[in-house]
Amino acid sequence: MPESDRDRAGGLEIREFRIEDYDRVMALWAEGGLPLKPQGRDSRENIARQIGLSNVRFLVAEDGAGGRVIGTVLATHDGRKGWINRLAVDAGLRKKGIGARLVRAAESWLESQGMDILACLIEDDNAVSMAVFEKLGYKKHPEIIYFAKRKYPGV
């Protein structure tokens, strides 16, 4: 995918995240109820480091009319499986296909990286995200249990 993908009719642009988007992105994530770790993985410094990695593509949707960031998605891969994370859309603009466009852009990049399996992790109380991903063809795997080991609680 090129650096940006502009929908000429709607003025919506999907482009790579820039560090100056950080504050707006954090606000979108908070508004969407995504767990934030501003002293850990979501710090400005960590996000800046992450976007420099070759296996990470952080995209934002921008309203062409106002130039305001209205959505996000973070695509990563481990060489075997592609991961879609941090999908968020401005609450006042949901159900307009913005999230689906962001996911399709993430999928396209992951597939270009050779990923044949795409997955996402969703908190068990995030029914909105579950519905979005189910609508986009993702299947819930209740038999998978997620374990994590954290260096410290805020990471």
The whole-angstrom separation of Cα 67 and Cα 12 is 9
The whole-angstrom separation of Cα 90 and Cα 37 is 20
For 53-77, what is the mean pLDDT? 94
pLDDT band at 89 (very low <50, low <70, confident <90, very high): very high
The whole-angstrom separation of Cα 143 and Cα 70 is 34
Please check the confidence at residue 5 and state whether its pLDDT lies above 70.
no
Q: What is the pLDDT of residues 10-47, one digit of tens each?
A: 689 999 999 999 999 999 999 998 989 999 999 999 99
The residue to which tokens 């952080």 are assigned: 58
Contact of 97 with 86, CB cutoff 8 Å: no
Both tokens assigned to 67: 């130039």
Both tokens assigned to 10: 């709607």
pLDDT band at 64 (very low <50, low <70, confident <90, very high): confident
Q: What is the DSSP letter of 41?
A: T
Rg from Cα positions in the chain: 15
Say how many residues make up the chain. 155
For 111-134, what is the mean pLDDT? 93
The whole-angstrom separation of Cα 152 and Cα 16 is 30
Domain extents in the chain: 4-135
Q: Which of 91, 99, 94 is nearest to 60 (CA)?
A: 99
The residue to which tokens 């260096």 are assigned: 151
The residue to which tokens 């482009």 are assigned: 15
CATH number for the domain whose boundaries are 4-135: 3.40.630.30
Q: C-alpha distances in angstroms, 8 versus 13, 80, 90, 105?
A: 9, 35, 20, 16
Please check the confidence at residue 86 and state whether its pLDDT lies above 60.
yes
